[in-house]
Chain A
């Protein structure tokens, strides 16, 4: 630990996009010196270090330069400016099964591919059985690769790459292949690599995967590095960039306008009260400990949602509702003040009702808050504000899924006497809040 395994030093990569590609001599001569092209900087001054034993994720939208960066690290592309220094043997998984020769058998391809990754024949012979076992191809290893199914093809590719004993493993979204069981196996293998103190650079579209695996993550946007830090922080920056670009990752509201960056946006009502609507909600705000400093809520923080109202007459039968939905409009939480056994004596005039959630459990994403006020017996809805506020959540932990709950982990060992003794207790309640 501590030594730099991969040092990316001011790497820029320029692609020339020719409007018309002249490949033949005749065309080259005719168009000599005036081939129209535009410069496209796929990477601009990328600089970061990856320490030995670290796992670094690279996040970015399509076309943000992730794959170009990986290709520069692997040496498939040469950077236009800057350089990459790699210490140790590097195995690149830019594409599983790249370099397979379809006419050769699986066995022959293992040797060919192994030498492509820089292994001597004797080294390959040593791990040969392990590769075959990992790829689950025992019966087919002497068949020509062209008869393999696509699943068998990628399994063999992955099996070779992880068994060639690299110091640095570079993975480009290849974990998305294979069936779920094989994906699990690949991920387990990646974790094993981490435990052995190897360095991994990992490109993924899935922030969840980055959070689960990486120690550090780099965010690319239009070829520039816009974020570099702990995975939770990086995922948040990544989401923000998606928002700015008008795309909200899988959690997106494709049909909605991009949200303003100073979330949550207060909503002001213009409607007035009348006989059918004795109470109107005029404004909805959400407050969390970081309000004013950062636009997002950290999972586990208290969150207060305040509903400002105008009431035409005094009432004790009004019940306020807060509904939190995810991007696919699934209701995650619906809190009704009347159901909580709280009777609100509301005088005429204006006021505010606050819902304080002591620990907001949802993991990262953007959540819509809809609010309403109804008759506590139900049936009569006085007012409803759909998506009146939006809460953006950042999750600094490694927990993946929908919610984070306080949890403790206990180990008990059964002794010879037959009863168990608690040996160690770990507790992971709430969140390790990061500075």
Chain B
């Protein structure tokens, strides 16, 4: 990897930086290099957004329409056909999906990003992590669009989120970004050497992992009760770093612990755990700590593998 470090110049009176190209560049130095290339990161994200809906009639409107349409499908399936009886289930679902979609989009795009940008990687020098981070970046932009759709749904359905706990959203977003970045960087590098990764990830992240998160079902009503019946400790379910993040979103946006189901005699049911906000903060902090370790590990792996990207592609 190439890295830059400021060094005073003797030449034409301009600050010149010294770059060392070698196979041993430490993680902190690469972080500095990535920070220097942030402009490129923004440009790559911008490019991806622009190119995605290029030549389509509705253009960027699709990034609002697509999630809205998906939601309507889910709402019909679970509200009409499968009937789980959760009131305004579409909102519970969407609050969980917000964070999940960011993670899923970021990881799925990032896995193929080095391979798909082979031309760039072979011919131009820049910190390659930027490509993986750009996937997280563009996923964040779509997250923003989906949040707009969420607001529209909340207003349309006259649903009041927990305004007093809105600050929990950024608390959940920070570990989400770090965790998604760690996964993105790791998988992008590994996929160059093991092209199976892409297909495996499509199944794992696209499906299995999704169902392991309390998005389509309620944690309290389904998981908590189910685990207790089988005498399995609840922490096992929380080994999935996405669980606390998804649940934080649900806590803030769906905001109802006890609801009357819309089926049968409208019994009272507990959908979300009755934790105070600090419990969520603690859980998210734990995820953040784990994610930071993972991110460091991902950077080390990426650094090892990045040296031969240009040859492997």
A residues within 8 Å of B by Cβ? 3, 15, 23-26, 28, 52, 71-80, 82-90, 92, 94-95, 98-99, 101, 103-104, 108, 111-112, 115-121, 167, 197
Contacts and interface: CB of A to CB of B under 8 A. Distances in A.
Nearest to B19: A86
A27 to B, nearest CB: 10
Interface stretch (B8-16, B164-172, B239-247): B8-16
Contacts of A95: 123
Contacts of B39: 115, 119-121
Contacts of B278: none
A147 B149 CA distance: 36
A74 B2 CA distance: 8
B50 A90 contact: no
B125 A74 contact: yes
B198 to A, nearest CB: 11
A90 B196 contact: no
B11 A52 contact: yes
A98 B117 CA distance: 11
B92 interface: no
Given A23-B194, A24-B195, A118-B36, A79 B310 contact: no
A99 B120 contact: yes
Contact of A78 (B1, B123, B194, B195): B1
Interface string B59-94: 000000000000000000000000000000000000
29 contacts: A25-B196, A26-B196, A71-B310, A73-B21, A75-B1, A75-B21, A76-B124, A76-B310, A77-B307, A79-B22, A85-B19, A86-B2, A86-B21, A88-B16, A90-B125, A94-B123, A94-B124, A95-B123, A98-B122, A99-B124, A101-B51, A103-B51, A111-B43, A112-B43, A115-B37, A115-B40, A116-B126, A117-B124, A167-B16
A277 to B, nearest CB: 64
A52 B18 CA distance: 13
Nearest to A82: B22
A88 B14 CA distance: 9
Given A23-B194, A98-B119, A111-B43, A86 B12 contact: no
B65 to A, nearest CB: 21
A26 to B, nearest CB: 8
Contact of A87 (B16, B36, B121): B16
B18 A78 contact: no
A158 to B, nearest CB: 14
A112 B16 CA distance: 23
Contact of A86 (B14, B18, B119, B193): B18
Contact of B123 (A25, A79, A85, A99): A99
B16 A116 contact: no
Nearest to A102: B51
Nearest to B36: A118
B229 interface: no
Q: What's the interface size class on B, roughly? A: 35 or more
A197 B22 CA distance: 27
The 6 closest A-B CB pairs, nearest first, are A75-B2, A98-B123, A83-B22, A78-B307, A75-B125, A25-B196
Contacts of B121: 76
Given A101-B47, A115-B43, A72 B21 contact: yes
A101 B51 CA distance: 9
Given A78-B1, A104-B50, A89 B194 contact: no
B156 interface: no
Contacts of A120: 39
A110 B100 CA distance: 35
A17 to B, nearest CB: 10
B23 interface: yes
B313 to A, nearest CB: 11
Nearest to A74: B125
A88 B2 CA distance: 13
Contacts of A74: 2, 21, 125
Interface in B30-62: 36-37, 39-40, 42-44, 47, 50-51, 54-55
A92 B51 contact: no
Nearest to B121: A76
Contacts of B119: 98-99
B25 to A, nearest CB: 8
Residue of B11, B21, B47 with most chain A CB atoms under a 10 A cut-off = B21
B124 A98 contact: yes
B17 interface: yes
Contact of B196 (A24, A52, A88, A104): A24
Contacts of B268: none
B20 interface: yes
Which of A3, A98, A101 has the largest count of B CB atoms less than 10 A from its CB?
Answer: A101
A87 B22 contact: no
A297 to B, nearest CB: 41
A88 to B, nearest CB: 4
Given A3-B10, A23-B195, A98-B123, A75 B19 contact: yes
A395 to B, nearest CB: 33
A95 B54 CA distance: 26
Interface centre among B7, B119, B125 (most CB of A within 10 A): B125
A28 B193 CA distance: 10
Interface string B193-204: 111100010000
B158 to A, nearest CB: 42
A78 B22 CA distance: 5
B194 to A, nearest CB: 6
A167 B20 CA distance: 15
B4 to A, nearest CB: 9
B130 to A, nearest CB: 10
Interface in B185-243: 193-196, 200
Contacts of A73: 21
Given A76-B310, A79-B22, A88-B11, 8 more contacts: A3-B10, A25-B194, A74-B2, A84-B20, A89-B17, A101-B47, A104-B50, A167-B16
Contacts of B23: 78-80
Given A87-B18, A88-B17, A103 B54 contact: yes
Nearest to B41: A115
B47 A108 contact: yes
A77 B1 CA distance: 8
Interface in B97-144: 119-126
Contacts of B311: 15, 77
Contact of B51 (A25, A52, A88, A104): A104
A152 to B, nearest CB: 18
A275 to B, nearest CB: 71
B50 A76 contact: no
Contacts of A84: 20-22
